[in-house]
Chains A and B, each alone.
Chain A
Amino acid sequence: MAKGDLSLFCALVILLVVTIFSIFPQYIASEHFTHVDLSKRLAEPSLENIFGCDFVGRDVFSLIVWGSRIALLICIVPTFIGAALGVSIGILSGYVGGKTDDVIQRMVEIIVSFPGLLLSLTIINILGPGLWNAMWSVTIWRVMGFIRITRSLTFTVKETGYVEWAKALGAGRAHVMFRHILPNILTPIIVQLTFSMPGTLLSVAGLSFLGLGANPPSPDWGVLMQQSRQYLVYAPWAAFVPGIFIFFISFAFNNIGEAFRDIVDPRAKYVRI
């Protein structure tokens, strides 16, 4: 499984590097992200500016480093909040069943009819552009996803022996839900969490790219791509490099998710016919 190991190793290295970038940007980046040097507009990559400069002379590498904090924030916050809400509602819906389940399911179905980005667009339409608004708009989509997964997982766990045993001993609903069902569905949910992070990053970065997320002069990678897009002919590096870093994080989380799933999923990785 050499190839798989290599991918996983690269993934962990990428995440480590980005985390270090986000903890100590001031020591790693050569300049602050607001530092503008018009004499170096659209400068090519050189020893001094590893990834070149953008249209106002900001060092792209510094921008990337300063923006990694935002990127990790984007990955983590909507996904975790979405998971917390989604899992709670999902367990409730799956365990309690009946009318509550029907109502919740119907609402989820309706919201899910809207393509994810469209829902985000509508919410930004109402709230206005901005990084946090973009993140909240993506959170709602995540919540729906987690509700569905948690609900189906809850169904598989609901009728098992130990749940009945707990009920026979007189456990209340809340107790059963959170002490018995939740720990047992936690592993697939963590896998799903890992897989959701790249999606969240891509969505929010996409919104920034469309001008609806973070505002300039934020070093958010999506915003950097949007600003540098006009100068693609002269300085492609300014637009490509942030995108490549977005890809790196996305790739890293997907690989880690796959590796994790291979470990915890009882189904065989491959089947010999």
Chain B
Amino acid sequence: MWKYIVKRLGYFIPTLFGITILVFTLSRLVPGSPVETILGQHATAELEALFEAQLGLDKPIYVQYIIWLQNILRGDLGQSLISNRKVSYLLFHRFHYTIRLALLVTVVNAVVGISFGIISAWRSGGKIDQALRFISIFGWSMPSFLVGIVLIYVFALKLKMFPAMGAGSIANLILPTLTLAAGGSSYLSRLTRGSLLEIAGQDFVKTAKAKGLTKSKIMISHVMKNGLLPIVTVIAGSFRGALGGSFIVETIFAYPGIGYLATQSVSHRDYAVVIGTVLFFAILTCVTNLVVDILYVYLDPRVRYERR
């Protein structure tokens, strides 16, 4: 198992570097040079050259990359053009909001989705399964922004039960979570059902049935124990989906997370902040994948004993 973990980490580091290179490339592709942005109207050829030397922009591109990387590692991601705050400050103060929302959505998705998936698999082929299948497709076809504004209209404007924006208390989390959970749990329930049924179709289940075990015993001891393992990967996918959905949902609910920051900065052409948020999300996704892969290996006894 440890061999695998080391190997996996070996994959992780180059991927991380690749991400930084890609983000750096994206940051340099942005139209307009930073020098022009800073100098504005006062730009003359000499001043531009001076600033370029100061910012290190006249050096070859790989040197610029290394300087940029060093800055990142030191925590300097640049400055927001709009709010004049350091990008790292903005990210630092908002990231717990996004994480909070993403985790809550993942938990709700997991609980609701997996339960429905199990029910579907248990009663596969029956009326309940078909009904749940319809509801699932319904749920994951819904655009998140539609669900969001419908929820705002019904619960915030008409019934005045939950706040429509901001982030002061738990009540603020409810509508955004419901918005993302609608799609996520539908998807998760279908995946759970598929995974469980795939296990159930295997030979060892037929053996168990031939041995005379009852359906409940088979489902619980054999099918679920094995079928729920891939679910770990799927829950991680749910977390990634929650992060991805955060852009739209946070914007709708004016929830001060990094997703909202990202969409606002793109609208305002605040390039430094956009690059900062991109880096943040990419690294977070990469780390999540790493954790999940390692966790999966830990949970799957087959891999553990393979090397004996």
Give residues in A with beta carbon < 8 Å to B.
1, 3-4, 7, 106-107, 109-111, 113-118, 121-122, 124-126, 128, 198, 202, 205-206, 209-212, 222, 225, 229, 232-233, 236, 239-240, 243-244, 246-247, 250-251, 254-255, 258, 267-273
Q: Mark B271-307, 1 if CB is under 8 A from A, else 0.
A: 1001101100110011001000000000000000000
Out of A115, A121, A222, A244, which one reaches B263, CB within 8 Å? A121
Q: How far is the CB of B85 from chain A (nearest CB, A)?
A: 19
Q: Which listed residue, B22, B205, B244, B263, touches A273 by the CB 8 Å rule?
A: B205
B-side contacts of A206, CB under 8 Å = 143-145, 247-248
Asked if B19 lies at the interface with its beta carbon under 8 angstroms from chain A, I say yes
Contact residue among A110, A117, A233, A250 (Cβ-Cβ distance under 8 Å from B18): A110
The contact of B19 among A110, A115, A267, A269, by CB within 8 Å, is A110
Docked pose: A214 CA to B292 CA in angstroms: 37
CB distance from A110 to the nearest CB of B (A): 4
Distance A111 CA – B145 CA, assembled complex (angstroms)? 25
Beta-carbon contact of A232 and B152 below 8 Å: yes
Instruction: Please name the residue on chain B nearest to A269 by beta carbon.
Output: B125
Given contacts A209-B248, A210-B263, contact A254 B146 (CB under 8 A): no
The interface residues of chain B lying within 8 Å CB-to-CB of A205 are 143, 145
Asked whether any CB of chain A lies closer than 8 Å to the CB of B73, the reply is no
The contact sample of 10 A-B pairs, CB cut-off 8 A, is A113-B286, A115-B244, A116-B244, A205-B145, A210-B251, A233-B157, A236-B153, A258-B137, A270-B129, A271-B200
Minimum CB–CB distance from B142 to chain A (whole Å) comes to: 6
Is A114's CB under 8 angstroms from B285's CB? yes
Q: Pick from B133, B150, B209, B271: contact of A240, CB below 8 A.
A: B150
Q: In the complex the two chains form, is A272's CB within 8 Å of B143's CB?
A: no
Residues in A with CB closer than 8 Å to B286 are: 113
Within 8 Å CB of B153, what residues of A?
A: 232-233, 236, 240
Q: Is the CB of A126 within 8 A of B281?
A: no
Q: Given A3-B134, A109-B15, A251-B141, A232 and B149 touching (CB < 8 A)?
A: yes
Do A114 and B282 have beta carbons less than 8 Å apart?
A: yes
Determine whether the beta carbon of A267 is less than 8 Å from that of B201: yes
Closest to A240 in B: B150
Q: Of A118, A125, A270, which is within 8 A of B247 by CB?
A: A118
Determine the main DSSP class of A at the interface with B.
Answer: helix
Q: What 9 new A-B contacts, CB under 8 Å, besides A111-B22, A122-B26, A198-B141?
A: A110-B15, A117-B247, A124-B266, A125-B269, A212-B263, A232-B153, A240-B149, A254-B137, A270-B129
B130 is an interface residue with CB less than 8 A from chain A: yes
> Most chain-B Cβ atoms within 10 A of its Cβ — which of A115, A124, A229?
A115
**Chain A residues, CB < 8 A from B125:** 269-270, 272
Q: Which of the residues B30, B140, B269 comes within 8 Å of A254, measured between beta carbons?
A: B140
- Whether B143 and A202, one on each chain, are in contact in the complex, defined by CB atoms closer than 8 angstroms, is yes
Complex: A5 Cα to B252 Cα, angstroms? 36
Of A198, A202, A236, A271, which contacts B124 at CB under 8 A? A271
- List chain A residues, Cβ under 8 A from B149: 225, 229, 232, 239-240, 243
A209: which B residues are within 8 A, CB to CB? 145, 248
With both beta carbons as reference points, the residue of chain A lying nearest to B190 in the complex is identified as: A258
B274 and A122 within 8 A (CB): yes
Contact indicator per residue, chain B 23-42, by CB within 8 Å of chain A (1) or not (0): 00010011100000000000
Q: In the complex, which residues of chain A have a beta carbon less than 8 angstroms from the beta carbon of B22?
A: 110-111
Chain A residues lying within 8 Å of B198, measured Cβ to Cβ, are 267
Distance in angstroms between the alpha carbons of A210 and B218 in the assembled complex: 49
A247 contact from B124, B142, B245, B271, Cβ within 8 A? B142
Asked if B138 is an interface residue, CB under 8 A from chain A, the answer is: yes
In the bound complex, CA of A272 to CA of B31 (Å): 59
Min CB–CB distance B298 → chain A (angstroms): 22
